[in-house]
Chain A
Amino acid sequence: MTSRVKGVFKQLLLYRSALIGLAIILVLVGISVYTIFAIPYDEAVRLWRAGEQHWLSNPRNALPSWVNLFSSKKLPETIVLDTSEPKPGASKVIVPVLERFSQVRIDFSFDYQYDDFPSELNLFFKSRFNVSAPKLTIHWVKPNGEDYALNTMIISKEDSYYISNDDRLAKELRGLISAKINRTIGYDAPVALLLFAEEDVSILDPSTARVMKGTYRLWIEGMAFETNVDVDACLVVYGKVYGWAGTDHLRRDLGIALLWGTPIALSFGVVAAVSIVLIQMFIGAISAWFFGKVDTALQRVTEVFMVLPFLPVVIMISTFYKINIWVLLLVVIGLTAFGSGVKSYRAMFLQIKEFPYVEAAKAYGASGFRIIVRYLIPKVLPTMIPSMVLSVPDFVFLEAALAILGLGDPLAPTWGKIIDDAFTYGALYKGLYHWVLEPSVMLAVTSLSFAMLGLALDKIFNPRLKEA
């Protein structure tokens, strides 16, 4: 047996497509192993289901960072400046005045050299005080020295100011800039654009508006009517690129689902493909060996399962129980166990049953079970390896398809889940192609690798297909 495996492997190395397929599968297995150890499953589920709060400093619908390598237009990264973590560019000074007041002064400054506007701007506050909440005035200074007062607010202990969602501010800024360039800005320019754009005629059209490059400042001045006051602020200038995979509509890092999708897809596909072939073969062998009543019963059951529509039954079961992915795997195996394969294996075993070596086994008194496991199945199994490998992609895609129908595992981050989210939130309408393409490419690469390996194996095990 081992020499046979070696032989097959040697032949396999002669096919370039098989080598490529095998290499890809190894890489995918490597990714899976890395993922399982680097991000434990519970952690992945927690991150994936954490909701927007957890990912508050990630940009929404961001592209992967590496797009900047291929484009002359540099998209902004996210800039986070926090006064509680001392870093150049963020400072705060709080001084008591006359032993009754406190004066707060916070300064942020950052260099902005990107070619596109940030997607959002938020300011988060954390403060400590006894009775008197600090009142803060927030200013924005552009590289050309222009100073805009953004807002004046009294903050609570945990507060936030969504600068880019402030419609009043947008209106005010439009008015100010319109007056400055003596032309009216005729569209609803968003705050992020107004705060970062060059102030000339180019701002009149969103397609020509340019970023003013240079050092920006945001300074906050405030007052509190007690001395025991502390204020920390965090400025987040959300970019348009994030990480190696980008983010989705809930600011989640797509990388987590892409990574975790790999072990889930591989194990789902391989376990389903292998166990279904084995179970069908076993049922076929029993049916052929113990003909008569057993055979009739098994064949009728098979026919019933063949008429049952597979997908609707799976849909019903998963709508009903909201099952997780491993139970889904069991359901799939259970429903396919009596598939059409049983019929063809039975036909094969009916022939093999009459072979002299089986007769010999019978003659020395081997039990039916022993003959099935040691004589019948090993004879057919090798020829079925190619179709086993070839059917792996089917099950990988089945998982994705169920996710697209909204019936996948409600917790697990999988490739199908990402595609489903992307579809539901109109990624294709909005041109957020990375959201659809990344999981799709993973699916495509996985299925192609198994298909290439399977077709090469097919040529080895069924030499009639061999190329001249």
Chain B
Amino acid sequence: MGGYVDEIVKGELHLSISQSVRQNPAFRHLNETQVRELIDALYENELKRIGFDKPFIYRSFIYLKDAITLSLGRALWISSASGSTSVYVIITERLPNTVLLFTTTQLVLFFIGLFVGLFLSRRYGSIPDKLAVMLAPLSSMPGWFYGIFLILIFASYLRLLPYGGMVDVPPPTDSLSYALSVLKHMILPLLSWLVAYSFINVYVRRTFFLMFSSEDYVELAKAKGLPESVIQRRYILRPTLPPIVTDFSLSLIASWMGAIITERVFNWPGIGSLLYSASIMFDTPVLVALVVIYAYLLAITVFTLEIVYAILDPRIRMGGMR
């Protein structure tokens, strides 16, 4: 059990141990049988360290228990920039980078979608509205794809912005110019996602608000002669908040996982590139940790949302309380 992945991991382990033993001058004096015994002993030890001496099913339960209790353990191959193999250290080292870029991006995207969508739904059929509808198909292309074009224009042709990475090399020493350097590297990835996803966000929100602004109670509020701003805030925005908040929180959570391809195109050292290297190196503990944390965040968010819905929309009441 455990399949080929186990075989690959074991094979690589044996290879690296025998290489390190054979290249170590301290073991030069040993004869061939002694060297083999040493390699086998080290190999068995190492198998025990990564837990491969136990059968796959047994190991799966260990992984499960560790995952549920969030004891993330140690990575098999990947190490953090500081040299630690603790999964916790590896993830916390990458997390700020991803949060900085993708959570910012999601926030900006969300607010653009919300406010521009609301604005356009009130000016239904106007030129900006038609423009937004016309540009919506542009969002059929993903962010990394626009990233390539932006790199081509701003980095390669105009030579204004860096090709990728997170800071200049060598990194600036004082914190102000460090921050500026990071900001400069953030512009292109941020921009690529904005170009890719803001049109569809605006379009979806606008359509959504349009549907809700034709509800009877909105017509009634208009008939009562309520000011536009009150109608917008109390009669359109408030009842539409639950799905909006759902979208918002789910996209924030998703941003936690980074974006594998965008991070690769822009060479951004975030969770996405960690996921990529963990997947191609079969580093199970890192993958399990990332997926489990995501699952936990998802569960917590979904649970919180149930409560938030009731607070936001007076029509939603849980249980039979009247």
Interfacial residues, chain A to chain B (CB-CB below 8 A): 17, 307-309, 311-313, 315-316, 319-320, 390, 393-394, 397, 400-401, 404-405, 419, 423, 428-429, 431, 433, 436-437, 440, 443-444, 447-448, 450-452, 455, 464-465, 467-468
Q: Do A404 and B264 have beta carbons less than 8 Å apart?
A: yes
| B278, A390: Cβ atoms closer than 8 Å | no
Query: Given the complex of chains A and B, what is the CA–CA distance between A407 and B157 in angstroms?
Result: 29
Given known pairs A401-B261, A444-B141, the reply for A455 and B136 (CB within 8 Å) is yes
B279 near A: Cβ within 8 Å?
A: yes
Q: Is the CB of A443 within 8 A of B156?
A: no
Q: Please, what's the 1-or-0 string for B214-242, where 1 marks a CB less than 8 Å from any CB in chain A?
A: 00000000000000000000000000000
Cross-chain contact A451 with B211 (CB below 8 angstroms): no
Contact of A401 among B4, B144, B157, B298 (CB under 8 A): B144
Q: B-side interface residues toward A, CB under 8 Å? A: 4-5, 8, 124-125, 133-134, 136-142, 144-145, 148-149, 151-152, 155-157, 163, 207, 211, 257, 260-261, 264-265, 275-276, 278-280, 282, 287, 290-291, 294-295, 298
Contact of B275 among A307, A312, A464 (CB under 8 A): A312
CB-based nearest A residue for B144: A401
Would you list 16 pairs from A and B whose C-beta atoms are within 8 A, ordered by A residue?
A307-B291, A308-B291, A313-B279, A315-B260, A315-B276, A316-B280, A316-B282, A320-B4, A320-B5, A405-B261, A433-B157, A440-B145, A443-B145, A448-B140, A455-B136, A467-B125
| Complex Cα gap A393–B200 (Å) | 14
B8, B157, B276 pick with most chain A CB within 10 angstroms: B276
Chain B residue, CB-CB nearest to A407: B280
Do the beta carbons of A17 and B137 come within 8 Å of each other?
A: yes
A311 CB contact (under 8 Å) in B125, B140, B260, B282: B260
Known: A307-B294, A309-B290, A405-B260. A443 touches B141 (CB 8 A): yes
Q: Is the CB of A436 within 8 A of B207?
A: no
* CA gap between A455 and B136 in the complex, in Å: 9
Q: Given A307-B294, A320-B4 in contact, is the A447-B140 Cβ separation under 8 Å? A: yes
- The answer to whether A428 and B140 touch across the interface, beta carbons within 8 angstroms, is no
In the docked arrangement, what's the CA distance between A188 and B131, Å? 54
CA distance A428 to B155 in the complex (A): 8
A315-B280, A316-B279, A320-B5 known; A464 and B125 CB under 8 Å?
no
Q: CA separation between A311 and B260, bound complex, in Å?
A: 8
Whole-angstrom distance between the alpha carbons of A465 and B139 in the complex?
18
B261 touches A404 (CB 8 A): yes
Known contacts A404-B265, A433-B152: A465-B207 contact under CB 8 Å:
yes
Are A448's CB and B163's CB within 8 A? no
Do the beta carbons of A319 and B156 come within 8 Å of each other? no
Q: Is the CB of B261 within 8 A of A433?
A: no
Q: Is the CB of A440 within 8 A of B148?
A: yes
For residue A429, which residues in chain B have a CB less than 8 angstroms away from its CB? 156, 163
Cβ contacts under 8 Å, A431 to chain B: 156-157
> How many pairs of residues, A versus B, come closer than 8 Å at their CB atoms?
101
Q: Do A450 and B279 touch across chains, with their CB atoms under 8 A apart?
A: no
Q: Which residues from A are CB-within-8-Å of B149? A: 440
Min distance, Cβ B278 to any Cβ of chain A, angstroms: 7
List the 4 closest A-B pairs by CB distance, nearest first: A451-B137, A451-B140, A315-B279, A393-B140
Q: Is the CB of A464 within 8 A of B211?
A: yes
Q: Are A401 and B5 in contact (CB under 8 A)?
A: no
Measured between C-beta atoms, what is the minimum distance from B83 to chain A in Å?
Answer: 25
Is B278 in contact with A312, judged by CB distance below 8 angstroms? yes
Bound Cα distance from A404 to B272, whole angstroms: 14
Taken together as a complex, chains A and B put the C-alpha atoms of A431 and B158 apart, in Å, by: 11
Q: How far, in Å, is A322 (CB) from chain B's closest CB?
A: 12
Q: What residues of chain B lie closer than 8 Å to A320, measured between beta carbons? A: 4-5, 8
- Chain A neighbourhood of B287, CB < 8 A: 312
Query: How many angstroms between the C-alpha atoms of A78 and B144 in the bound complex?
Result: 36
- Chain A CB count within 10 A is highest, among B142, B144, B157, for B142
**What is the minimal beta-carbon distance from B120 to any residue of chain A, in angstroms?**
13
Verify B151–A428 contact, CB threshold 8 A: yes
Given contacts A315-B280, A397-B141, 13 further A-B contacts (CB under 8 A): A17-B137, A307-B291, A312-B279, A316-B279, A393-B140, A393-B141, A405-B260, A431-B157, A436-B148, A447-B140, A448-B137, A448-B138, A451-B139
Chain B residues whose CB sits within 8 angstroms of the CB of A444 once the complex forms: 141, 145
Report whether B152 and A428 are in contact in the complex, using a CB–CB cutoff of 8 Å: yes
List of B residues within 8 angstroms of A452 by Cβ:
137
Distance of B270 from chain A, by nearest CB (Å):
14
Bound CA span A437–B138, Å? 17
The closest CB in chain B to the CB of A467 belongs to B125
How long is the Cα–Cα vector from A316 to B149 in the complex, in angstroms?
A: 28
Alpha-carbon separation in the docked complex, A320 to B9 (Å): 12
Q: Is the CB of A309 within 8 A of B211?
A: no
